[in-house]
Structure 1
Amino acid sequence: MLKVLIFDMDGVLVDSMSYHTEAMQHIFDELGINMDKQDIYDKEGSKTVEIVSFLLEKEGIDPLDFDVDGLIKRYRTEFARILVLKSFREIDECLPILRERFMLSVVSGADRNIVHDVIGRLFDDIFDIVLSGEDVEKGKPAPDPFLKVAEMLDVGISECLVVENAPMGVEAANRAGMFCVGVPTYVSKESIMKADKLVDDHRMLKEFLLGLEHPEKEEVESLRLIHK
């Protein structure tokens, strides 16, 4: 039986990707380097350093010859400056109910300080595990982040369900062997067609998640105590 729900953060829990792209665009503009915002949406879920390296390589710049760490630090500062935190209403409505039915986890490719700040401010005491891009050696599209959650909670692959909104995340869930629900927040449905279940929007996502078969509340609380 399903025991664990694993959520991506940007675009699934929080409507924040536009701030990521604006922050990165601002830094690239200051450096005089061309950047296509769509590339960030397409690479969403990957580690920040991997996205930056891809953007540089696309413009013929070798990341090894560039101060990538410095660029990322400037991006983090700009992101924090412009971010307006906004969770999806449907997520706010269903998470407290889902917490009574399942173990809940966040798996994001974003930097640790950003992930924990956002989750702490919007979803305090909701998630049992929060993983950032810095918590695994290989991030999405590798299956490692999802497999780590299963290992940490001592559950089987078939007992986990992943909610993703980007191709990299869907691929990672597929490779982990976990059932994946895709919601096309910022990308086309076609780009996440490999998800096991596609929903049109967060309203449909909420309905689907609340309709899932789940363990008894006592069993969930017992699991939560074991893995605290």
Structure 2
Amino acid sequence: MTPRRFGICIDANDPERVAEFWAAVLDREPEASGEEIRLLPRTDDDLRIRFLPTDAPKTLANPHHLHLTSALPQDQQRTVDRLIGLGATHLDVGQLPEEDHIVLGDPEGNELCVIPAGNSWLAGTGFLGEVAADGSRENGLFWSAALGWPLVWDQDGETAVATPSGSAKVAWGGPPPVPRGPRDRFRFDLIAPEDTEPAAEIRRLEELGATLVTEIGSDGRWARMTDPDAYEFEVLAPR
């Protein structure tokens, strides 16, 4: 099976401001397309990122968040200082004093972690090293099959997949699930490969355990679905 591309969709009250922040953090160019703003990937293996407007305020922690890596010991604080300068803030999400990652929020409070150098789990990944996701083992297995990405961890209810090149990971932390509101602000996208028919891709995902919410058929968005843990994701046309 041809591997699929993986994307992130973040709802924002001010999508231009949040996209500008992440474009600067990741050194990517933003591109507006209709109501959404995309960060253009620099390589074919980059995780796709887009932002959509919402009027709903952020009231809960996101079920998923990003991990940024550090190559050298001094890089962690340099990254933190740079992100603070771009509009990030320090967050207390219950991290323990002995934990060595630093938790920040982007301009709208979307959580992210800056990981110190020497982290063996993220060795070999890029600066955007991981999407840390809430979810069960079943969900991790679903996404491995849905994306066609190798499962690189499956232990004690925790799972993880990696991009085909190993440039980034997506990891599911197992139970218990985090509290959730009516709709998650941080969601996943699955980008279909060339020469894929929408109906066939939707049917394939249903056979793997996804549930169709609605077919969209506009702006390159084929369908809204939910994964086995009832997290919403969208199926996007090839780009």
What's the TM-score once normalised by structure 2's chain length? 0.29
What's the TM-score once normalised by structure 1's chain length? 0.29
By percentage of residues, which structure has more helix? 1
Higher RCO, 1 or 2 (CA under 8 Å, sep at least 6)? 1
By percentage of residues, which structure has more strand? 2
